[in-house]
Protein backbone atom coordinates (compact mmCIF):
# COMPACT_ATOMS: atom_id res chain seq x y z
CA UNK A 1 0.00 0.00 0.00
CA UNK A 2 1.36 3.42 -0.83
CA UNK A 3 1.64 6.22 1.72
CA UNK A 4 -1.48 8.07 0.56
CA UNK A 5 -3.65 4.92 0.69
CA UNK A 6 -2.27 4.17 4.15
CA UNK A 7 -3.37 7.63 5.32
CA UNK A 8 -6.88 7.54 3.88
CA UNK A 9 -7.70 3.93 4.81
CA UNK A 10 -6.47 3.89 8.43
CA UNK A 11 -9.34 3.35 10.86
CA UNK A 12 -9.67 2.88 14.60
CA UNK A 13 -9.80 -0.87 15.24
CA UNK A 14 -11.08 -2.09 18.59
CA UNK A 15 -11.38 -5.86 18.07
CA UNK A 16 -8.32 -8.07 17.74
CA UNK A 17 -7.50 -11.67 16.96
CA UNK A 18 -5.96 -13.76 19.71
CA UNK A 19 -2.57 -13.68 17.99
CA UNK A 20 0.66 -12.28 19.43
CA UNK A 21 2.53 -9.54 17.60
CA UNK A 22 6.15 -10.47 16.86
CA UNK A 23 8.69 -8.34 18.76
CA UNK A 24 10.28 -7.17 15.51
CA UNK A 25 6.90 -5.81 14.35
CA UNK A 26 6.53 -3.89 17.63
CA UNK A 27 10.04 -2.53 17.09
CA UNK A 28 9.11 -1.35 13.59
CA UNK A 29 6.03 0.45 14.92
CA UNK A 30 8.14 2.11 17.61
CA UNK A 31 10.83 3.09 15.13
CA UNK A 32 8.18 4.80 13.00
CA UNK A 33 6.82 6.58 16.09
CA UNK A 34 10.30 7.88 16.89
CA UNK A 35 10.68 9.26 13.36
CA UNK A 36 8.00 11.84 14.13
CA UNK A 37 8.88 15.52 14.08
CA UNK A 38 9.28 17.27 17.42
CA UNK A 39 9.91 20.84 18.52
CA UNK A 40 13.62 21.66 18.17
CA UNK A 41 14.11 17.92 17.54
CA UNK A 42 14.00 17.28 21.30
CA UNK A 43 12.20 13.93 20.84
CA UNK A 44 10.77 14.04 24.38
CA UNK A 45 9.00 10.70 24.18
CA UNK A 46 9.17 7.36 25.90
CA UNK A 47 7.09 4.30 25.09
CA UNK A 48 5.91 1.59 27.45
CA UNK A 49 5.05 -1.65 25.66
CA UNK A 50 2.38 -3.50 27.61
CA UNK A 51 1.90 -7.15 26.69
CA UNK A 52 1.35 -8.61 30.13
CA UNK A 53 -2.25 -9.88 30.21
CA UNK A 54 -2.68 -8.91 33.88
CA UNK A 55 -1.70 -5.30 33.14
CA UNK A 56 -3.83 -5.12 29.98
CA UNK A 57 -6.85 -6.30 31.96
CA UNK A 58 -6.38 -3.48 34.50
CA UNK A 59 -6.47 -0.71 31.89
CA UNK A 60 -10.29 -0.34 31.66
CA UNK A 61 -10.42 0.52 35.38
CA UNK A 62 -8.10 3.46 34.67
CA UNK A 63 -9.50 4.42 31.28
CA UNK A 64 -13.10 3.28 30.68
CA UNK A 65 -12.89 4.18 26.98
CA UNK A 66 -9.92 1.82 26.57
CA UNK A 67 -11.88 -1.37 27.31
CA UNK A 68 -10.53 -2.90 24.10
CA UNK A 69 -7.03 -2.98 25.61
CA UNK A 70 -8.05 -5.92 27.81
CA UNK A 71 -8.61 -8.00 24.65
CA UNK A 72 -5.59 -6.72 22.72
CA UNK A 73 -2.33 -8.64 22.57
CA UNK A 74 -0.45 -5.39 23.15
CA UNK A 75 -0.84 -1.74 24.03
CA UNK A 76 1.71 1.03 23.86
CA UNK A 77 1.67 3.92 26.28
CA UNK A 78 3.13 7.06 24.69
CA UNK A 79 4.67 9.34 27.31
CA UNK A 80 6.28 12.75 27.27
CA UNK A 81 9.36 13.59 29.29
CA UNK A 82 8.86 17.06 30.74
CA UNK A 83 12.60 17.41 31.42
CA UNK A 84 13.54 16.96 27.76
CA UNK A 85 10.60 18.74 26.08
CA UNK A 86 11.30 22.06 24.36
CA UNK A 87 9.06 23.81 26.85
CA UNK A 88 5.55 23.92 28.31
CA UNK A 89 2.91 22.99 25.78
CA UNK A 90 5.16 21.00 23.45
CA UNK A 91 4.54 17.53 24.88
CA UNK A 92 1.03 17.33 23.34
CA UNK A 93 2.34 18.37 19.93
CA UNK A 94 5.36 16.09 19.93
CA UNK A 95 3.56 13.08 21.38
CA UNK A 96 0.62 13.55 18.99
CA UNK A 97 2.99 13.32 16.04
CA UNK A 98 4.60 10.18 17.50
CA UNK A 99 1.19 8.62 18.19
CA UNK A 100 -0.01 9.29 14.64
CA UNK A 101 3.17 7.80 13.17
CA UNK A 102 2.64 4.75 15.38
CA UNK A 103 -0.94 4.35 14.13
CA UNK A 104 0.06 4.70 10.48
CA UNK A 105 2.92 2.22 10.84
CA UNK A 106 0.62 -0.28 12.55
CA UNK A 107 -1.87 -0.02 9.67
CA UNK A 108 0.87 -0.37 7.05
CA UNK A 109 2.10 -3.53 8.81
CA UNK A 110 -1.36 -5.13 8.85
CA UNK A 111 -2.18 -4.33 12.46
CA UNK A 112 -5.29 -2.65 13.80
CA UNK A 113 -4.93 0.08 16.40
CA UNK A 114 -6.88 2.73 18.26
CA UNK A 115 -5.70 5.92 20.00
CA UNK A 116 -7.04 6.42 23.53
CA UNK A 117 -6.39 9.86 24.99
CA UNK A 118 -4.89 10.26 28.43
CA UNK A 119 -3.22 13.69 28.52
CA UNK A 120 -4.95 16.41 30.55
CA UNK A 121 -7.16 13.87 32.34
CA UNK A 122 -5.50 13.76 35.80
CA UNK A 123 -7.29 10.59 36.90
CA UNK A 124 -6.04 8.74 33.81
CA UNK A 125 -2.52 10.16 34.07
CA UNK A 126 -2.29 9.18 37.74
CA UNK A 127 -3.74 5.74 37.05
CA UNK A 128 -1.11 4.92 34.42
CA UNK A 129 1.67 6.45 36.51
CA UNK A 130 0.71 4.12 39.35
CA UNK A 131 0.00 1.00 37.26
CA UNK A 132 3.30 1.18 35.39
CA UNK A 133 5.50 2.83 38.08
CA UNK A 134 6.39 5.76 35.83
CA UNK A 135 9.15 8.01 37.17
CA UNK A 136 8.47 11.66 38.04
CA UNK A 137 8.36 14.01 35.08
CA UNK A 138 7.09 11.30 32.72
CA UNK A 139 3.63 12.28 31.52
CA UNK A 140 1.32 9.61 30.10
CA UNK A 141 -0.05 11.06 26.87
CA UNK A 142 -1.88 8.38 24.90
CA UNK A 143 -2.48 4.68 24.87
CA UNK A 144 -2.57 2.75 21.61
CA UNK A 145 -4.17 -0.69 21.76
CA UNK A 146 -3.01 -2.84 18.89
CA UNK A 147 -3.30 -6.29 17.40
CA UNK A 148 -4.25 -8.12 14.26
CA UNK A 149 -7.72 -6.84 13.34
CA UNK A 150 -10.81 -8.92 13.98
CA UNK A 151 -13.06 -6.38 12.29
CA UNK A 152 -13.19 -4.59 8.96
CA UNK A 153 -14.25 -0.96 8.65
CA UNK A 154 -15.02 1.10 5.59
CA UNK A 155 -13.05 4.28 5.06
CA UNK A 156 -15.51 7.11 4.57
CA UNK A 157 -14.42 10.15 2.63
CA UNK A 158 -13.85 12.89 5.21
CA UNK A 159 -12.67 15.70 2.97
CA UNK A 160 -14.92 18.75 3.44
CA UNK A 161 -14.34 21.57 0.96
CA UNK A 162 -16.31 23.96 3.18
CA UNK A 163 -13.62 23.58 5.86
CA UNK A 164 -10.87 24.82 3.54
CA UNK A 165 -10.05 28.54 3.46
CA UNK A 166 -7.48 30.08 1.18
CA UNK A 167 -5.41 33.14 2.06
CA UNK A 168 -7.72 34.02 4.93
CA UNK A 169 -11.07 33.01 6.33
Using pLDDT thresholds of 50, 70 and 90, give the confidence band for residue 1: confident
Edge-first strand order for the sheet with 45-50 is 45-50, 74-81, 138-147, 112-117
Q: Is the pLDDT of residue 137 over 80?
A: yes
How many CA atoms, within 13 angstroms, populate the side-chain half-sphere of residue 128?
Answer: 31
Question: Please, what is the average pLDDT of the chain?
Answer: 97
Question: What is the set of domains in the chain, with CATH numbers?
Answer: 24-149 (3.40.109.10)
Q: Is the pLDDT of residue 48 over 90?
A: yes
Average pLDDT over residues 99-126: 98
CA angle 107, 61, 129 (to 5 degrees): 80
Which helix or strand (DSSP H or E) is residue 79 part of? strand 74-81
- 138: Cβ–Cβ under 8 A, 6 or more apart, which residues? 46, 79, 80, 81, 82, 129
Using pLDDT thresholds of 50, 70 and 90, give the confidence band for residue 54: very high
What pLDDT is attached to residue 9? 95
Using pLDDT thresholds of 50, 70 and 90, give the confidence band for residue 55: very high
**What span, in angstroms and rounded, lies between the C-alpha atoms of 53 and 69?**
10
What pLDDT is attached to residue 96? 98
Q: What is the pLDDT of residues 7-25, one digit of tens each?
A: 999 999 999 999 999 999 9
| SS3 assignment, position 77 | strand
Q: Is the pLDDT of residue 88 over 90?
A: no
Average pLDDT over residues 93-122: 98
Q: What is the pLDDT of residues 56-80, one digit of tens each?
A: 999 999 999 999 999 999 999 999 9
Amino acid sequence: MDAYQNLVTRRSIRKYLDRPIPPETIDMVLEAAMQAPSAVNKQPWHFVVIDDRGLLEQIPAIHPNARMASGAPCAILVCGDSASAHGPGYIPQDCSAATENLLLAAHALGLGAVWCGIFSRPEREEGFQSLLALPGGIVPFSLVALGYPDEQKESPRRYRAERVHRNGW
